[in-house]
C-alpha cells in the first residue's frame, strides 16, 4: 500500500509537533555513544522537514532541547550544542532554497552565545521564506513558558494596562512564545514513551496524540505518513458529539 497516496490533502494538519525521543537508546543498542544517535537524528530531521514540505504542512515544531536536558552529562550537552551550531550553519542556505522559514521558541538566554548567534543568523537567512515554518524548541519548558506569560499579565494588570476581565484564552495565547503559530493538531512522540515531557502543555489541549515505538534516528517519511494517516482516520469533536459534527457537515 502506498501510504503517501492514501493521505488526503484536504484534511492535512496545519501544524505537527514532534517529541524527538530515542537518540541515545538507538545508539546504545548499536554499541555506539549517545552523540552518534544525535548525529543520526539530524538525518531524520532533514527527512521529516522535506516530507512535511512536500505534503504542504505549514508548521513543524521539533522538541530539540528541553530545560531539563541541561541536567545531562556535560560532555553530552556540549556535544549537542556544537551539533546544533554546526547543523544550522550548514543547513540555513538549504532551508532557504527549500523555502523553509526557521523560528525558535524557548529561553534563548540559556544557550551559549555561539549557539544564539548561529540560530539568529539562520532565522535571518530564512526570514523571507513562505513555505513550511520549522520551529525549534530549544531550552524550552512549557511550565517556564506559562509562568513567564502569567508574570507578563500580572505586570500589565498591576500597571493598569490590562483589565482582569480582558484576560481570556486568546489573550493568554498571545503571551506565549508560540503566539505567531497555530496550535498543533497532531503531536508525535517517538521511541515508545507515552508522556508529554513538559512540551507545549497549553497548546496541545485538543491535539491528537500519536505514539510510536520507532526511535527518532529511524523515523523517516514513511513513519510520518503513517502518523498523518492515523490522524486523518480520527474524529475530532472538540467536546461535541458525532451527531453534532455530522449535522454541521450537512
Query: Each residue of 55-83: pLDDT tens digit?
Result: 999 999 999 999 999 999 998 999 899 99
Q: What is the strand order of the sheet 133-140 is part of?
A: 101-105, 133-140, 59-66, 15-19, 186-189, 208-211
**C-alpha cell at position 122:** 539562520
Task: Determine whether 21 is an active site residue.
Answer: yes
Report residue 239's pLDDT band, with 50, 70 and 90 as the boundaries: confident
Average pLDDT over residues 98-119: 93
Angle at 176 between CA 110 and CA 204, to 5 degrees: 105
Report residue 137's pLDDT band, with 50, 70 and 90 as the boundaries: very high
Task: Determine whether 98 is an active site residue.
Answer: no
SS3 of residue 132 by DSSP:
coil
Dump the DSSP string for 41-65: HHHHHHHHHHHHHHHT--EEEEEEE
Q: Which of 47, 69, 107, 230 is catalytic?
A: 69
Give pTM, 2 decimals: 0.93
Amino acid at each position: 500500500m502506498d501510504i503517501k497516496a492514501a493521505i488526503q490533502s484536504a484534511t492535512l494538519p496545519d501544524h505537527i509537533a514532534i517529541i524527538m525521543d530515542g537518540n541515545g537508546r538507538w545508539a546504545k543498542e548499536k554499541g555506539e555513544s549517545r552523540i552518534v544517535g544525535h548525529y543520526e537524528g539530524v538525518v531524520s530531521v532533514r527527512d521529516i522537514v522535506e516530507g512535511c514540505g512536500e505534503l504542504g504542512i505549514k508548521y513543524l515544531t521539533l522538541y530539540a532541547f528541553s530545560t531539563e536536558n541541561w541536567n545531562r552529562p556535560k560532555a553530552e550537552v556540549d556535544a549537542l550544542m556544537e551539533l546544533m551550531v554546526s547543523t544550522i550553519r550548514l543547513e540555513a542556505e538549504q532551508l532557504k532554497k527549500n523555502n523553509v522559514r526557521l523560528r525558535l521558541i524557548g529561553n534563548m538566554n540559556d544557550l551559549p552565545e555561539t549557539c544564539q548567534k548561529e540560530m539568529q543568523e539562520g532565522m535571518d537567512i530564512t526570514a523571507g521564506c513562505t513555505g513550511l515554518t520549522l520551529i525549534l524548541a530549544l531550552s524550552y519548558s512549557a511550565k517556564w513558558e506559562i509562568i513567564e506569560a502569567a508574570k507578563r499579565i500580572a505586570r500589565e494588570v498591576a500597571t493598569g494596562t490590562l483589565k482582569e476581565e480582558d484576560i481570556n484564552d486568546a489573550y493568554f495565547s498571545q503571551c506565549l512564545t508560540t503566539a505567531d503559530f497555530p496550535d498543533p493538531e497532531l503531536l508525535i512522540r517517538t521511541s515508545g514513551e507515552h508522556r508529554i515531557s513538559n512540551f507545549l502543555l497549553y497548546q496541545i489541549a485538543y491535539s491528537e496524540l500519536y505514539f510510536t515505538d520507532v526511535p527518532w534516528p529511524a523515523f523517516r517519511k514513511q513513519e510520518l505518513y503513517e502518523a498523518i494517516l492515523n490522524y486523518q482516520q480520527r474524529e475530532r469533536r472538540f467536546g461535541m458529539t458525532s451527531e453534532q459534527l455530522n449535522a454541521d457537515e450537512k
